[in-house]
Amino acid sequence: MTITIKTGAEIDGMRLAGRLASEVLDYLTPHVKPGVSTEQLDKLAHDYIVNEQQAIPAPLNYAPPGYTPYPKSICTSINHQVCHGIPNDRPLKNGDIVNIDVTVIKNGWHGDTSRMFIVGEGSIAAKRLCALTYEAMWKGIVKVKPGIRLGDIGHTIQTFTENQGFSVVREFCGHGIGQKFHEEPQVLHYGRPGTLEELVPGMTFTIEPMVNAGRREIKETGDGWTIVTKDRSLSAQWEHTVLVTETGYEVLTLSAGSPPPPDFATKG
Ligand code: MF3
Ligand code: CO
Ligand code: CO
């Protein structure tokens, strides 16, 4: 109903869950190659989360109102799939791009993060889309500090993306996160500066832009979960969970294998 503000030990709980989610992606990385199926990746992730991390894969059986329970432990969205792709037995092939989205629950706290993977040799267009979407996410992240508004984040991501001829998906957004997978507020990846909720220290939410190479329109598929681009153009997504600190932001979903932030995020 309202935005939860995390303090002290709660933030430590979010830090641990966030790092673990990112470490699942580190663990999967060497396995993402031609010939492996997304179902195999799902099994690897599931067993790692449950047995090594003693954590819970949040997607498994997750059933928001109006949805059938999600049947797997991670989401794998390939090529023109925008999000919520369900792992299956089809092998990945050279040149595919795949988003792997991991959410773990540890000691009651959620960490949610996703990365793009290029299978084998990617096309120039695929590499450009994945790199640009990564930058779009970070353009949003570096805005985060007390006093700015959610509309500032959305506006930044939208203008950066559209200025380069790509489009931002509107139907799905980032979200508050904590003891619940999806909390308030919604974090739109488009919008107008100075609008929507003002950020305050202790808020935790995700930034997870979905960027299409073609038009922004999407459609649902028959499985009740997988979302695809209407024009079948390639789509990419990256996701981090972030904390609003007194002076700015802390990314909670970093680990040893995280891709480095872009220069604009590290060099004033
Ligand atoms: N991890 C997704 C997100 O970023 C949500 C997936 S819901 C699921 O919000 F049920 F498909 F896992
Ligand atoms: Co999310
Ligand atoms: Co996610």
- What is the maximum span of the chain, computed from C-alpha positions, in angstroms? 48
Per-residue pLDDT tens digits of the chain, which is 268 residues long: 699 999 999 999 999 999 999 999 999 999 999 999 999 999 999 999 999 999 999 999 999 999 999 999 999 999 999 999 999 999 999 999 999 999 999 999 999 999 999 999 999 999 999 999 999 999 999 999 999 999 999 999 999 999 999 999 999 999 999 999 999 999 999 999 999 999 999 999 999 999 999 999 999 999 999 999 999 999 999 999 999 999 999 999 999 999 999 999 998 6
User: Ligand 3 centre and the CA of 239: distance in Å?
Assistant: 6
Using only the alpha carbons of the chain, give its radius of gyration. Answer: 17
DSSP character at residue 45:
H
Angle 64-29-51 (CA atoms, 0-180°, nearest 5)?
65
DSSP character at residue 248:
S
3-state SS, residue 154? helix
Ligand nearest to the CA of 74: 1
Atom of ligand 1 nearest to the CA of 208: 4
Atom of ligand 1 nearest to the CA of 86: 11
Atom of ligand 1 nearest to the CA of 181: 9
Q: Quick check: pTM over 0.95? A: yes
User: Ligand 2 centre and the CA of 120: distance in Å?
Assistant: 27
Structure tokens at 200: 């305050």
**Residue in 101, 104, 110, 241 to alter for ligand 1 test, most ligand atoms within 8 A of Cβ:** 101
User: Ligand 1 centre and the CA of 193: distance in Å?
Assistant: 27
What's the Cα-to-Cα distance from 146 to each of 12, 89, 166, rounded to whole Å? 20, 45, 29
- pLDDT at residue 249, as a whole number: 98
**Residue in 24, 72, 84 to alter for ligand 1 test, most ligand atoms within 8 A of Cβ:** 84
Atom of ligand 1 nearest to the CA of 225: 11
Q: How far apart are CA 152 and CA 138, in angstroms?
A: 13
| Nearest Cα residue to atom 3 of ligand 1 | 112
Atom of ligand 1 nearest to the CA of 206: 4
Q: Where are the domains of the chain?
A: 8-266
Give φ, ψ of 207 to 5 degrees. Answer: -125, 120
Which protein residues are within 6 Å of ligand 1, measured from CB?
A: 59, 62, 70, 75, 84, 101, 103, 112, 206, 208, 225, 239
Q: How far apart are CA 187 and CA 207, in angstroms?
A: 7
- pLDDT at residue 258, as a whole number: 98
Q: Which CATH architecture has domain 8-266?
A: Alpha-Beta Complex (3.90)
| Nearest Cα residue to atom 7 of ligand 1 | 59
Contact 112, 206 (CB under 8 A): yes
Neighbours of ion ligand 3 (CB under 5 A): 101, 112, 239
